[in-house]
A and B are shown apart, each in its own frame.
Chain A
Amino acid sequence: NAGVMQNPRHLVRRRGQEARLRCSPMKGHSHVYWYRQLPEEGLKFMVYLQKENIIDESGMPKERFSAEFPKEGPSILRIQQVVRGDSAAYFCASSPTVDTQYFGPGTRLTVL
């Protein structure tokens, strides 16, 4: 059983461009979570999704950030018009139910 998969692993964008981060949960997992880790800090919750539903987006910035988990395909975290402060590692986690979350390898976003 493959683990949580994220791509790309590294992403470089210039200010004002869009960043799309993808997450494929573990097989059989229907709950997906996104976290952001700034350098030298712990992870901060962003959003919790189930298939076709956003359950909790209390950690998402109000502007430029959006997330989806369609019926088919991976979950997508989208950042529009990126700024330097968006540079961070973005981790996706999945769980089968209300249970331990398993983390993917992360996408390291660098905004130039």
Chain B
Amino acid sequence: ELKVEQNPLFLSMQEGKNYTIYCNYSTTSDRLYWYRQDPGKSLESLFVLLSNGAVKQEGRLMASLDTKARLSTLHITAAVHDLSATYFCAVDMVGAQKLVFGQGTRLTINP
């Protein structure tokens, strides 16, 4: 059974600081996704990572994938308040069309 674990689950940080969210998964997967969710809202797709060593960046967020370690990271650079949200990673199961989600990381950025 595929399991996806994120850490930390809660993160409170100051504006301007850097931090990393980690996503581990237990078995081989086709793709890894990062989503953002604001309170009471739907999920916004941030990144899709397809292959080992993939790195994608959008603004202050950068995601990377190491398929050998079964690890993805979401790095936040010089955080700003607008990035406060819950971030989920999700993994495709090989041969199946369903996403398995991590527990989510609730990120709070304080002025």
| Chain A interface residues (CB < 8 Å from chain B) | 31, 33, 35, 41-45, 48, 55-56, 58-59, 91, 95, 98, 100-106, 108
Contact, CB under 8 Å: A56 / B43: no
23 A-B contact pairs sorted by A residue (CB < 8 Å)? A31-B97, A35-B99, A35-B101, A41-B104, A42-B103, A43-B99, A45-B98, A45-B99, A45-B100, A48-B98, A56-B97, A58-B98, A91-B43, A98-B97, A100-B33, A100-B45, A102-B45, A103-B35, A104-B42, A105-B41, A105-B42, A106-B41, A108-B40
Q: Determine the distance from Cα of A59 to Cα of B98 in the docked complex, in whole angstroms.
A: 10
Main secondary structure of the interface of A (DSSP, over half): strand
| Chain B interface residues (CB < 8 Å from chain A) | 33, 35, 40-43, 45, 48, 88, 90, 96-104
